Amino acid sequence: MGMRHGPRGMFGGKDKRSRPIRVLLGRMFGYLGRFKRIVTIGAILSLVATIVSVFDPLILSIGIDLVADGNSTFNTLLMLIGLYILIKVTAWILFGVNTWILAGAQAGFVQNVQEDVYNHLVEADLSYHKSEQSGNVTSRVTTDAVSLGTGVQVIISFSSQILMIISSFLLLWFAAPALALTSLVVIPGVAFVAVLFGTVGQRIMLASQRAAGKVSGQIAENLSGIHIAKAFNREKELAEEMLELNQQSYKHGFRFMILMSAMQPLVRSIGQFATAAVLFVAGALAVGTLPVLTIGQVFLGVILVGRFMWPLLMVVMSFAQVQASMAAMDRVSDVLESTPSIADSELAISLAEESDGISFEDVTFSYVKDTPVLKNVDFSIAPGEMVAVVGHTGAGKTTLAALVNRFYDPDSGRILIGTQDLRETTLDSLHNTVSLIPQEPYLFDDTIFENIRYGRPGASDEEIIELCKIIGANEFIEVLAEGYETIIFESGKNLSAGQRQMITIARTMLADPKILILDEATSRLDAYSESLVQDAQEKLFANRTTIVIAHRLTTIANASRVFVFDHGDLIEEGTHEELLALNGTFKSLYDTYYAHQGFEELTEEAAETAKEVVKDDTKDAVPAGPGMMGGHGGMGGMGGLGGMMGMGGPPDPEKMKEMIKNMSPEQRKQMLAHKDMLPPPIRELLEKLESGEES
């Protein structure tokens, strides 16, 4: 099938070409349509306010003519002044109420957009979130939504501006048709500016916003990993990378500013030219023996030309804000128009209560076409069975977990829970049945109580405390300043890695899933905490279908079967004892790492060494040198000890004691130099021998 499941799989890797303005405006007005009542009331108030405000220059024009003719009286002038003030105050009140009402519509508009975008992002595939910087994603909900609100404000004001243009022109036409026709000289210039900003402006603004989103994402990423940068003295490199990215954003912003700088003098020139033309024509018609216009009409003509021309130019000058909103709407549309590739089918049904166990039937999967991560994988896990999956980095273990959770669909083959294909079941019922404890723990900015309660919202505080006592988390929680009420911030920044993982495990245990997947879930725990978790697993995960995905071989000690993966292939399968007897890859992993390192982490180097051992068919040999120790350095003195422990069962205490006693002092010192990697019994015996307590 060859679908793209990985990065860029849902939204595409390149920035999409900007959508037509009519499409973007249609979507914006679609959101405004949810506030029809408010917008209608605002439109009526704006209509009345505009009509009222148009007549105030007519009052002034009449007053000027009366004074110029000498026919005015005090009462007449007083009446005109009162009427003028009444018109001005009425218009001011109407415009004020209109602004207040439409501000509510604008706020609601922004809120609706943010809710829709956020909901789409929550429903988006993991492939999208893995392919986008978190800061860039966040900007879709925050910056772009606010920019849309600004654009809506401008668009709403367009209606009153256009109404002012039309009413002013009509009044000017009735007062002086010649001046009305003269004012039309402004139209070609305004049309030129509109076309210029409707094409070039939109592209520049869209590029500028995309660049700003990348800068925001890079800042968030750099700050989240600042401790790593400091540890490796890479602050300067971070600054240089940000400078380069910021420079690209600056270039786009600079182009837009150049465009804006060119527009302002152009708009002023158009306005000044129109005013000069009207004054020239009005002056010619107001002088001579038979003047066509009075002084008051000349004044009215100049005022109304301004009322006609400047709103028209303001519409064009505000076009930049509209372009910014169109660019924001374009970016938001990338999210709103997307459809997740993983979704419930029309015929999807919930997982049956009795559905349990996992089956892979000839499953092949690839993140990128023609690059399979899993190849024709077949296996079945019985209900209640605990299976361990081992293999080096890139073997496909984590992908296996993602497929069971249906974060992705396989290219070919089927994945079943019980007898139900995951493609034919609802995602809600699947995720209620399957729980994943990930390798990287994630905690919310809330109390420890609420982070654990996230697994089962109805759980009481007493249930949570009792659960934490069982797994040993209670010990470190109670010594915190606020105990279970301690606020966790920035995904557990105020806790150790092991503490974060313990809380994550407690959350999953509280959810009580039917099927459990542990993706290296104990890799961040120290030996003591890990032993507590393993003891709790025996009690809480009994008779529960469980997949343990691990580099650390301690986590597979109690597994009924072990699956060994290599580059997407399931190469070995069986019980712990069967795989040791098979003398294959797992036996070599056990001999070269498990026995020597006290059940420590199984690294890629160890896996590669094991593969080479199998390839060379040196079944009984124990490789020496750095490769044997998974990159930790040679410890040749431990070879005999490792061979003794690699026989498939626990080491005999007497034989272990005898062998250590027979070691030279130099060999003992070498082992003690790496005592953290030794099993506790060996470490204790060595320390006693060195201190002279053991004879």
Distance separating alpha carbons of residues 405 and 418, to the nearest angstrom: 14
Q: Which residues pair with 570 in a beta bridge?
A: 565
Distance separating alpha carbons of residues 124 and 334, to the nearest angstrom: 12
DSSP of 340-351: -SS---TT-BPP
Give the pLDDT confidence of 43-93 residue by residue, as tens digits.
Answer: 788 888 888 888 888 888 888 878 777 766 778 888 888 888 898 898 889
Query: For residue 454, is pLDDT > 80?
Result: yes
- Look up the CATH number of domain 21-336: 1.20.1560.10
Give the pLDDT confidence of 492-545 residue by residue, as tens digits.
Answer: 777 877 788 888 888 888 888 889 888 766 665 666 666 666 666 666 667 789
pLDDT band at 633 (very low <50, low <70, confident <90, very high): very low
- The structural domains of the chain, with segments of one domain joined by +, span 21-336, 358-556, 607-691
Lowest pLDDT segment from 178-182, 250-254, 457-461, 686-690 = 686-690
Alpha carbon distances (Å) from 8 to 338, 371, 407: 12, 16, 15
Average pLDDT in the chain:
75
Question: Do 562 and 390 contact (CB within 8 A), yes or no?
Answer: yes
Print burial letters for 92-124: b (CB count within 10 Å at least 16), e (below 16).
eebbeebbebbeebbebbbebbbebbeebbeeb
Print burial letters for 364-385: b (CB count within 10 Å at least 16), e (below 16).
bbbbeeeebbbeebebebebeb
What is the per-residue pLDDT for 365? 93
Going by their DSSP bridges, the two strands 358-368 and 371-381 should be labelled as antiparallel
Alpha carbon distances (Å) from 456 to 175, 460, 472, 487: 76, 9, 20, 19
DSSP of 601-622: B--HHHHHHHHHHHHHT-TT--
Query: For residue 610, is pLDDT > 60?
Result: no
Tell me what the mean pLDDT of segment 128-154 comes to: 71
Tell me what the mean pLDDT of segment 270-277 comes to: 78
Query: For residue 594, is pLDDT > 60?
Result: no
Q: Which residues pair with 377 in a beta bridge?
A: 363
What angle, rounded to 10 degrees, do the helices at 319-336 and 74-123 form?
20
DSSP of 68-123: HHT---HHHHHHHHHHHHHHHHHHHHHHHHHHHHHHHHHHHHHHHHHHHHHHHHHH
Look up residue 515 and give its DSSP letter: E
Q: Say yes or no: domain 358-556 is CATH 3.40.50.300.
A: yes
The set of residues, in sequence order, having a beta carbon less than 8 Å from that of 577 and lying 6+ positions away, is 648
Give the pLDDT confidence of 89-105 residue by residue, as tens digits.
Answer: 988 898 888 888 878 88
What is the per-residue pLDDT for 416? 93
Higher pLDDT, 166 or 639: 166
Lowest pLDDT segment from 185-199, 496-510, 518-532, 649-663 = 649-663
Distance separating alpha carbons of residues 116 and 114, to the nearest angstrom: 6
Higher pLDDT, 36 or 408: 408
What is the per-residue pLDDT for 16? 45
Higher pLDDT, 332 or 665: 332
CA 385 to chain centre: 36
Distance separating alpha carbons of residues 559 and 571, to the nearest angstrom: 18
Residue 518: name the closest of 443, 452, 601, 435 by CA: 435
Tell me what the mean pLDDT of segment 641-648 comes to: 40
Look up residue 473 and give its DSSP letter: T
Query: Which of 87-91, 150-154, 343-347 has the largest mean confidence?
Result: 87-91
Higher pLDDT, 187 or 435: 435
Look up residue 554 and give its DSSP letter: G
Question: Do 151 and 231 contact (CB within 8 A), yes or no?
Answer: no
What is the per-residue pLDDT for 381? 93
Lowest pLDDT segment from 26-40, 122-136, 304-318, 328-342 = 122-136
Distance separating alpha carbons of residues 22 and 28, to the nearest angstrom: 10
Higher pLDDT, 80 or 603: 80
pLDDT band at 669 (very low <50, low <70, confident <90, very high): low
Print burial letters for 235-253: b (CB count within 10 Å at least 16), e (below 16).
eeebeeeeeebbeebeebb
What is the per-residue pLDDT for 88? 85
What is the per-residue pLDDT for 214? 72
Print burial letters for 428-449: b (CB count within 10 Å at least 16), e (below 16).
ebbeebbbbbbbebebeeebbb
What is the per-residue pLDDT for 358? 93
Distance separating alpha carbons of residues 599 and 578, to the nearest angstrom: 19
State the pTM of this model: 0.57
Higher pLDDT, 653 or 61: 61
